[in-house]
Amino acid sequence: MKGKTIAAIAAAALGLAPLTWPQPPRAGGPEQARLEARFEATGLKPGVPFPEVSIYDEEGKPFHTRSLKGKYTVIVNGCLT
């Protein structure tokens, strides 16, 4: 809650619209079922080549997924905190 309060104060000080955080779907509810179905339909599957994308690393240097070709790689999506 503390982080939300600080973000709201900072947004107000800068004249920005207040930030909102969506609530996670309730376990077992229809929204969760819809999201799981969407993930299964669109998520990466084991053995399927990862799409070629370019992003920036934490130092601001370009990183291309093609540099991983031929290497074992673990892809982690989401928050790790």
Residue in the structure block whose two tokens are 């996670």 = 24
| Residue 25 neighbours by CB distance under 10 Å | 14
Residue 47: per-residue pLDDT: 79
Rounded to two decimals, the pTM is: 0.37
For the segment 49-64, the average pLDDT, to the nearest whole number, is 86
Alpha-carbon span 73 to 44, nearest angstrom: 13
Q: Which residues contact 45 (CB under 8 A, 6 or more apart)?
A: none
pLDDT band at 62 (very low <50, low <70, confident <90, very high): very high
- Tens of pLDDT, residue by residue over 1-48, are 455 555 556 556 555 555 566 666 567 778 888 888 888 887 777 777
